[in-house]
Amino acid sequence: MFTPKYPPQGTAPPPATLQPQTTASAPAAQPPAPAAQVVPVSNRPTVQLTPGSALALAAGGGAVVLVVGAVLVSMLLAVAITGMSVAVTAVVLRSVLNAERKH
């Protein structure tokens, strides 16, 4: 999952070759025409958002926010109810133990 993704072997541009310089004084010749650059084609798909898909994406994001919010609020409510029940149980046990000591 965390390994790098390398492009396929055939997509690298060809290496540039250097021509040796000649020191002989020859008549001026025309310089060679520059080689055309080969642009590799990307294999990654492009994502195009239409207004309808952008609206669906926004609605889906809003739904995710609402669901995550409801889950977090319900967990907080469960913790609060558990805390209140433990507190009530502690008060009842304390009153029972104090009543037993007095008798």
Does residue 60 form part of some domain?
no
Q: Is the distance from CB of 40 to CB of 9 less than 8 angstroms?
A: no
Domain hosting 96: range is 68-103
The pLDDT of residue 32 is 66
CA angle 15, 17, 19 (to 5 degrees): 175
pLDDT of residue 102: 85
Asked if residue 78 is part of any domain, the answer here is yes
Assess if residue 2 is contained within a domain: no
Give the global pTM: 0.46
Q: Is residue 21 part of a domain?
A: no
The pLDDT score that the predictor gives to residue 85 is 98
Number of structural domains found in the chain:
1
The verdict on residue 13 lying in a domain is no
